Amino acid sequence: MRFYFVAILTIFLSATVVAQGGTYKTITAAQTDTLIKNHQGLNDLVILDVRTAVEYNAERIDKSRNLDGNSAWFNDSIDKLDKNKIYLVYCGVGGRSPGACTKLIAKNIKTVYNMQGGMSAWKSAGFPTVKTSGTDAYGLSSLIVKIYPNPVVDLSTLEIDGFFEGEVKIEILNALGSLVMSRKMVPGRAITINGRELSPGLYFYRLVLPQNQVKSGRFQVAR
C-alpha cells in the first residue's frame, strides 16, 4: 500500500512540475501551414528560425525571424521576446528546434510550437520558401543600428538590432572621415557612446561584417 501511495504521489508531483514549467507542442509541416494561415494579419504569431544566419538567408519560411539556437547569446536574446505572443520554432531537419523550444518555455513563454522535421519537412510537403537576393548571405540587411538619444549630448546607447552568427565591427568616424572608435560586438548587445569624449558635430557609423559588407549611417553630437 505504501509503495502505491509513493508511486501515485511521484506521478502527481511530476505532472505538477510539467504544468508549472509548461511544455511545447510538436506539429507537422501541414499543421504549421494551417497555423500560419490562421494567424495572418493578427500580429500575434512569431515564426522563429533557429538555424544559423547563413542557412536562414539561403532559404527560409516567409516572414520568419532568425535567432541561432546554438549561439552564445541565444538566452539573452529570448529574454527580450514578447512572452504574450505565440512562437512557432523550426530548424533544418528537426534536431535543434526542440532544445530551443525548451528554452523558450523556461523563459515563461506560454505558447510554443515545434515544427517536426524542420525546413526539410516543409519543403518536402511543397510549401513555399523565400531566399535572400543578391550578395547578402550573411544577413546585413536584417541588422539595424540604433543610437539613442540622438543627438548625443552626454551618454548615448548604440545598439545593433537583429541576429547574426558571430561578431560584427562597428566604427565611428568624424565628419572628416577619421576613425575615432572601433569596436567588435554581438548583435543584440549594446555599447555606450560618451559624448563628452567627442567634439560637437556630425559623425558617421559603419557596421562591417566579416565579408566586408558595410552598412552606414550618421548621428550628431551636441552639447
Q: Is residue 10 part of a domain?
A: yes
Q: Is residue 130 part of a domain?
A: no
Q: Per-residue pLDDT for the chain (223 aa), expressed as one digit of tens each?
A: 444 444 444 333 333 334 345 799 999 999 999 999 999 989 899 999 999 877 888 899 999 988 888 877 788 788 888 999 999 999 999 999 999 999 999 999 999 999 999 999 999 999 999 987 655 555 676 688 889 999 999 999 998 877 666 678 899 999 998 999 999 887 777 889 999 999 999 999 999 877 677 888 999 999 7
What type of residue is 58? Answer: A
Same domain, 178 and 71: no
Q: Is residue 38 part of a domain?
A: yes
Q: Is residue 192 part of a domain?
A: yes
Same domain, 69 and 110: yes
Domain count, the chain: 2
Q: Is residue 133 part of a domain?
A: no
Residue 28 sits in which domain range? Answer: 2-124
Same domain, 9 and 82: yes
Handedness of CA 131, 185, 69, 83 (dihedral sign): negative
Q: What is the CATH number of the domain that holds 100?
A: 3.40.250.10
Q: Is residue 134 part of a domain?
A: no
Same domain, 18 and 90: yes
> How many Cα atoms sit within 13 Å of 48 on the Cβ side?
30
How far the first Cα of the chain sits from its last, in Å, is 79
Same domain, 113 and 157: no
